[in-house]
Amino acid sequence: MYTLVIGNKNYSSWSLRPWVLMRTLRIDFKELLIPFAEPGSTELFRQHSPSGRVPCLHDGELRIWDSLAIVEYLAERHEGVWPAERAARAWARSAAAEMHSGFQALRNTCSMTCGQRVVLRERPAALERDLARLQALWQAGLTRFGGAFLGGQTFTGVDAFFAPVAFRLQTYHLSLDDPCDAYVARVLALPAMREWYEAALREPWREAAHERDIIDVAAEIIDLRQSGS
Ligand SMILES: N[C@@H](CCC(=O)N[C@@H](CS)C(=O)NCC(=O)O)C(=O)O
C-alpha cells in the first residue's frame, strides 16, 4: 500500500493535492502526518522525503516527492487521475502546471489556513490579477468541458491542484463570479475536503511562521480551530 507523507492539514496546501485526489479516487494509502516546526520534525521530513518537503509518496522502496510528480506517478497506475478525453487532459495538465508554478500573489497574500477566517487589510493589485486569471481559467474549464469539475464531469488531478485555492477563497472571503463560486462550493462539499477540513480544525499545532504570515495581512481574524482564539 502507498504511504503519503504530509504536513499539517491546516496549513499544507501542497500536501492537500495528492491527498484529496487519492481519497476521492479511492486510491488506498496510509497517511503519515509530520507537523511543521515540532521537535524533531526537520529530521523526520528529511528521513521521509528526499527534498525534506512534503508531500512525498512512498510506494515500496520508491520515493516520489513534489505534488505534480506524485499525481503523474498515480496517473500511470490508476484510471481517472486526468480526464479521459485528450483535449480535456491537455487542458487539465496545463492548468495544473500553471497553478504549480504560478499564482504567487495568491499564495503569498493568502497562505492556506483552513480553520481561520480572515479579512484582508488590503487587496494588492497582484492579487487582483491572480484572481482575474483564476476566474478566466476556471470559466474556460467549466464551460469547455461541460462538467461540474474543471476537466469534465468527474473530479480529477486539475481539481486537486486547485483544491487548496478553494480553502483560501473561503478563508479570505474572496468571491469570483457565480459559476466559479458554485465550483468552489462543490469542491468544499466533497467528502474528502470535509474530512481534511474537520481534521484541520482538530489539530493542536500552531506554527509560528505560518501564523505570522496570516497576522501580517489581516485586518480581522476569526479562529475556528479547536482551542483557537
Ligand atoms: N513544489 C513542492 C512544494 C512542497 C513544499 O514546499 N512543501 C512545504 C509544505 S506545504 C514543506 O514541506 N515545507 C517544509 C519546509 O520547508 O521545511 C510540491 O509541489 O510538493
Share of the chain above pLDDT 70, in %: 99
Centroid of ligand 1 to alpha carbon of 67 (angstroms): 9
Q: What is the mean pLDDT of residues 201-223?
A: 97
Q: Whose CA is nearest to atom 17 of ligand 1?
A: 53
Hey, which of 9, 20, 53 would you mutate to test ligand 1's pocket, going by the most ligand atoms within 8 Å of its Cβ?
A: 53
Residues 66, 25: Cα–Cα separation, whole Å: 19
Which pLDDT belongs to residue 227? 79
Phi, psi of 219 (to 5 degrees): -95, -25
In the predicted structure, residue 180 carries a pLDDT above the cut 60? yes
**Whole-prediction pTM value?**
0.97
Which pLDDT belongs to residue 228? 53
Conformation bin of residue 12: beta by default, left when phi > 0, alpha when psi is -120 to 50: beta
| pLDDT tens, residue by residue, 58-115 | 999 999 999 999 999 999 999 999 999 999 999 999 999 999 999 999 999 999 999 9
Hey, which of 11, 54, 107 would you mutate to test ligand 1's pocket, going by the most ligand atoms within 8 Å of its Cβ?
A: 54
- Burial of 59 from C-beta contacts in 10 A (0-12 / 13-18 / 19+): middle
Whether residue 14 has its Cβ less than 6 Å from ligand 1: yes
Assigned CATH topology for domain 2-75: Glutaredoxin (3.40.30)
| Domain ranges across the chain | 2-75, 86-196
Whether residue 164 has its Cβ less than 6 Å from ligand 1: no
Three cell numbers at 102?
A: 504560478
Assigned CATH topology for domain 86-196: Glutathione S-transferase Yfyf (Class Pi); Chain A, domain 2 (1.20.1050)
Whether residue 12 has its Cβ less than 6 Å from ligand 1: yes
In the predicted structure, residue 117 carries a pLDDT above the cut 70? yes
In the predicted structure, residue 229 carries a pLDDT above the cut 80? no
The atom number, within ligand 1, closest to the CA of 53 reads 12
